[in-house]
Amino acid sequence: MNTPAATGAPPETRGLESAFEDTIARDQRVEPRDWMPEGYRKTLVRQIAQHAHSEIIGMQPEGEWITRAPSLRRKAILFAKVQDEAGHGLYLYSAAETLGADRSDMTERLIEGRQKYSSIFNYPTRTFADVGVIGWFVDGAAICNQVPLCRSSYGPYGRAMVRVCKEESFHQRQGYELLLTMMRGTDAQRAMVQDAVNRWWWPSLMMFGPPDDNSPNSARSMAWKIKRHTNDQLRQRFVDMTVPQAEKLGVTLPDPELRRNEERGHHDFGSPDWAELQRVISGDGPCNAERIARRRAAHEEGAWVREAATAHAAKQAARTREGAAA
Amino acid sequence: MSETTKGDWPLYEVFVRGKRGLNHVHVGSLRAADDHMALTHARDLYTRRNEGVSIWAVRSDTIAASTPGEKDPFFAPSGDKDPFFAPSGDKVYRHPTFYDIPDDVPHI
């Protein structure tokens, strides 16, 4: 019980900022009502909102396949997965709200194109094999990104990530299992899987963001322990993790430069087309307009449901008041 | 726990009891038009995989919360020492280890 308070040591006079820096340095978590620098708050709101939007927009490429999934089992699985993505979005909006962000404001910013979401969801899902490859690559990449975020310095974000990560594991496994099943099928099915792998490999590597020497926000986010690893470190981890899975599956990853480097203990691999990433991020990907239009339509066409629920709640509250008065 | 704007539904904090015998634990928040919707949304959002046997949903604006010490650095030198909790910090005699008992006294 030999704490400063217990020994009656004179209180040091330190600023709010150094108390915050102390919390970060001691690897403790920052909680919603703590003082925090405006830059920290803004960076978190930007990152968490972008992450939440990605989950919500991410429902679309796979949601398109629910009605066309080849069996009741696959439909049920896909339904559950898409529902999880919605849940992940809501966990994250909830975390952003603890920082003072407003939920309907975030939705507006998304449908007006003022806040971004992951570039990966601007690519089309052409065949059912794409559903499998998204689970394997995209959710696999998301796991690489998100596991370290469970230790993010901002408490509510880290806690949301713990829940998200538990659920992502099912997403990745169902995708890989789907592909294993197709690979045991016909030549046409195997070709379909290889085609999906070819189309999704490079965009998946881009999910980790620009290379470290061109990632303006990384250093500060690392110093604040919002991020724990650099984009390139996470990309490397994803490649190393995926190569043996591809071998087991019997597909070829479309990179002639991909090979094991025994010296480094990692795989060397080619460089994604960063100009393409820039184009997709700035709105010129294959599906950007379609994704936003769909989100906007869902929001606007759902307005009457929100209004009806509000009216119902008001009526119930009035009845309760009348009942109490009578 | 920000105030609602633009006619948004109110914010609710959600607490889930994982299983019988455990306390309800805070799991996050959501927006709902009324208490009933808060409970059904909490079920769909926070208990999709048997995470709970009971849910509390509490309007965030009805929660009384202590202010973190970081807001008052003069009295809160170490960041996690809150003046609000000072009364609990200087009473070492409330802890069993405060009392010297010879090693050979059994069961104490």
- What kind and span of H or E run contains A203? helix A187-206
Q: What is the pLDDT of residue B79?
A: 45
Q: How many contacts does A have with B, using Cβ atoms within 8 A?
A: 108
pLDDT tens, residue by residue, A141-166: 999 999 999 999 999 999 999 999 99
The pLDDT value recorded for residue B5 is: 43
Percent of chain A scoring above 90 in pLDDT? 88
**From B33, B77, B89, residue closest to A12, measured CB to CB:** B77
Q: What is the mean pLDDT of residues B42-59?
A: 96
Question: Is the CB of residue B71 less than 8 Å away from at least one CB of chain A?
Answer: yes
Express as a percent the part of chain A with pLDDT over 70: 96
String of b and e for B16-47 (b: at least 16 CB within 10 Å)? bbbeeeeeeeebbbbbbbbeebbbebbbebbb
CB contact under 8 A, B1 and A32: yes
**pLDDT tens readout for residues A297-323:** 999 999 999 999 999 999 999 999 998
CB-nearest partner of B77 from A4, A90, A159? A4
Q: pTM here? A: 0.89
Whether A98 and chain B come into contact, CB under 8 Å, resolves to: yes
Query: Tokens representing A152?
Result: 């993010």
Interchain contact, A102 vs B8, CB within 8 Å: yes
The owner of tokens 């059904």 is: B40
Q: Is the Cβ pair A310, B9 closer than 8 Å? A: yes
Q: What is the mean pLDDT of residues A262-286?
A: 95
Residue among B28, B49, B81 whose CB faces A160 most closely: B28
Residues in A closer than 8 angstroms to B45, CB to CB, are 87, 90-91
Residue-averaged pLDDT of chain B: 84
Angle between helices A231-249 and A155-183 (to 10 degrees): 20
pLDDT at B3: 40
* Better-scored residue on pLDDT, A216 or A192: A192
| Contact between A87 and B45 using a beta-carbon 8 Å cutoff | yes
Query: Mutate which of B5, B70, B88, B92 to disrupt the A interface (most A C-beta within 10 Å)?
Result: B70
Closest to A23 (Cα-Cα) out of B91, B76, B11, B86:
B76
Cα separation, A103 vs B58, in Å, equals 18
Chain B residue with Cα closest to A94: B29
Q: Which residues 207-236 of A have a C-beta within 8 angstroms of B? A: none
Reply yes or no on whether the pLDDT at A184 is more than 70: yes
Q: Indicate which of A21, A36, A82, A91 best probes the interface with B, i.e. most B CBs within 10 Å of its own CB.
A: A91
* Average per-residue pLDDT for chain A: 93
pLDDT in tens, A10-68: 344 358 888 899 999 999 999 998 999 999 999 999 999 999 999 999 999 999 999 99
| Amino acid (one-letter) located at A221 | S
